[in-house]
Amino acid sequence: MKRSGDAEVLRVAVITFRALKGWSQAELAKATGLGASAVSRYESGAQVPTADTLARIRLAVGVPPILAPGLLSWIRAARSAMAGGTIYDYGDDVIESAAAELGQALSQLMRTTLDEIRDDYARERSTDDEPWEDDPPLG
């Protein structure tokens, strides 16, 4: 049975998400609450995951939502190149879109990381038992 292009991209996406975490199908199934047989069907292409199921898988492996569209675009472009096409077959608009998505994803990742560092620093300072102003002078 020949699968549609989007079905094949989603099949590869499920495999890629699982591989990024280094999990077996059983581990992915447990983390998502899906049956192991469902994961197997998605990866074999016997069944196409719904958008909600794909989101559950993405969340379970920890891929930020902003990266998912870029991953799907990358899979499409890579499959085209492997079939003898090139990334240029998609045109400048797809290349620009993929670059914009990547820039947004990196920006979001940096903001999230900086927020976490700032929160950790604030937590450490709020539990600091050493009152800097009241310390006696050294020496």
Domain boundary among 41, 63, 85: 63
Residue 7 lies in a domain: yes
> Which of these three, 33, 63, 93, is where a domain ends?
63
pLDDT of the chain, 139 residues: tens digit per residue: 445 568 888 999 999 999 988 999 999 999 999 999 999 999 999 999 999 999 999 999 988 887 787 788 778 777 777 777 665 555 666 666 666 766 777 777 778 778 888 888 888 877 655 555 555 565 5
Specify the pTM. Answer: 0.59
Give strand ranges (E) for 1-139.
Answer: none
What is the residue range of 81's domain? 64-128
Of 63, 86, 117, the position where a domain reaches its end is 63
The answer to whether residue 122 sits within a structural domain is yes
Q: Which helix (H) or strand (E) holds 70?
A: helix 68-82
